[in-house]
């Protein structure tokens, strides 16, 4: 990520969503990651990020991540070496966290983001990126805490609102909470869409029906 904070990839929105409707029952996975240009990265769990057999979902975690390209491996090694002697470089930890984020190494990304956050206030992008990684690592409660931290800094942060709804609906079973989160998202951006092009307002309507 270019900034100290990362918004799922360089001003890029990466959102992962897997949604299924059957007999009026809404099921699926919605995940969105945001990243800033040349800085923090926020992308949807697979692009957003591909997970659970599709773009979105829980996402690959350490030990099950897709092969890392030689270029990414070299970049990560370079950053790791640099941070070994610059432990107080917040931006450097964010960049390393973003590199792990991009290669779906959730556990390592979380550690890097935590080190960045320990060095002082970071942008809501960093909190959002960490929340996405925490969800991928099977830590929904921690993910919610991170999204809430992002929203405390910016109540209109679209990616935090979107991902908060994903975790509430699919990981904690809080349908009402997810609906509320996405309604707030619609207040910020009435035309908000999922990665596959579905209007969030249509999903909210389906949830309310039932």
Sequence-separated (6 or more) residues with CB below 8 Å from residue 206: 21, 26
- What number is the average pLDDT over the span 84-92? 95
What is the tens place of the pLDDT at every residue in 32-86?
444 433 334 444 432 233 222 222 332 333 444 567 899 999 999 999 999 999 9
What is the tens place of the pLDDT at every residue in 116-141?
999 999 899 999 999 999 999 999 99
> Which pair of structure tokens corresponds to residue 185?
């998202």
pLDDT exceeds cutoff 60 at 8:
no
- Cα separation, 151 vs 45, in Å, equals 19
Stated pTM of the model? 0.74
pLDDT at 195: 78
Look at the block and give the residue holding tokens 């990126």.
129
Class (C level, CATH) for 10-209:
mainly alpha
Residue 111 burial (C-beta neighbours within 10 Å; 0-12, 13-18, 19+) = middle
What is the tens place of the pLDDT at every residue in 157-210?
999 999 999 999 999 999 999 999 999 999 999 999 987 888 999 999 999 998
pLDDT exceeds cutoff 70 at 7:
no
Q: Where are the domains of the chain?
A: 10-209
pLDDT at 65: 54
């Amino acid at each position: 990520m270019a900034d100290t904070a990362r918004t799922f990839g360089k001003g890029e929105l990466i959102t992962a969503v897997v949604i299924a409707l059957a007999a009026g029952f809404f099921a699926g996975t919605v995940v969105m990651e945001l990243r800033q240009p040349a800085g923090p990265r926020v992308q949807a769990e697979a692009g957003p990020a591909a997970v659970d057999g599709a773009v979105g979902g829980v996402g690959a975690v350490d030990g099950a991540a897709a092969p890392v390209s030689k270029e990414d491996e070299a970049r990560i090694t370079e950053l790791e070496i640099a941070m070994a002697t610059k432990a107080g470089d917040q931006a450097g930890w964010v960049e390393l966290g973003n590199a792990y984020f991009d290669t779906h190494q959730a556990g390592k990304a979380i550690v890097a983001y935590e080190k960045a956050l320990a060095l002082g206030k970071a942008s809501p992008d960093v909190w959002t990126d960490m929340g996405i990684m925490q969800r991928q690592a099977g830590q929904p409660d921690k993910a919610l805490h991170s999204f809430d931290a992002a929203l405390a800094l910016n109540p209109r942060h679209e990616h935090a609102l979107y991902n908060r709804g994903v975790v509430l609906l699919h990981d904690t079973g809080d349908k009402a909470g997810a609906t509320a989160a996405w309604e707030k998202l619609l207040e910020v951006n009435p035309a908000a869409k999922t990665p596959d092009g579905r209007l969030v307002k249509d999903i909210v309507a389906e949830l309310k029906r039932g």
